[in-house]
Amino acid sequence: MSIRLQVWVIVISIIILVGIVDLVRRRKLREEYSFLWLVLGFGLLVLAIFPKILSTISRAVGISMPVNTLFFIGLLFIFLICLYFSLRISSLTNQVKNLTQEVALLEARLQNKVEK
């Protein structure tokens, strides 16, 4: 990795980390969601500072080019985010269904009391 590219990746990683912390501080992003993005920013920073880590991982996994390893790690990261948000959506869907049923039962009870 050239020094110029290394500096750019370090700057981008720092911008990502500062941006995530600022979003959490301003309550635009919840802490539970910020963890994944902080891991991404920190991981990019570590790989930019120590580019040999990516080469070592590539050799250990059997991937010929480190950039392919980076794409694979990115794809895995996106997959994990999609899985996490699918789980959250499923949980929230169940909560909405339960709350809707509770509201309907409470409205029915209230309607029965008003009629009596």
pLDDT tens per residue, range 36-79:
888 888 988 898 889 899 899 999 999 988 888 888 888 998 99
Judge whether residue 26 has pLDDT over 90: yes
How far CA 46 is from CA of 55, 75, 96, 101, in Å, comes to: 13, 18, 41, 49
**8 A C-beta contact, residue 17 and residue 45:** yes
With a pLDDT cut of 70, the percent of the chain lying above it is: 98
Judge whether residue 1 has pLDDT over 80: no
Radius of gyration of the chain (CA): 23
- SS3 sequence, 76-95? HHHHHHHHHHHHHHHHHHHH
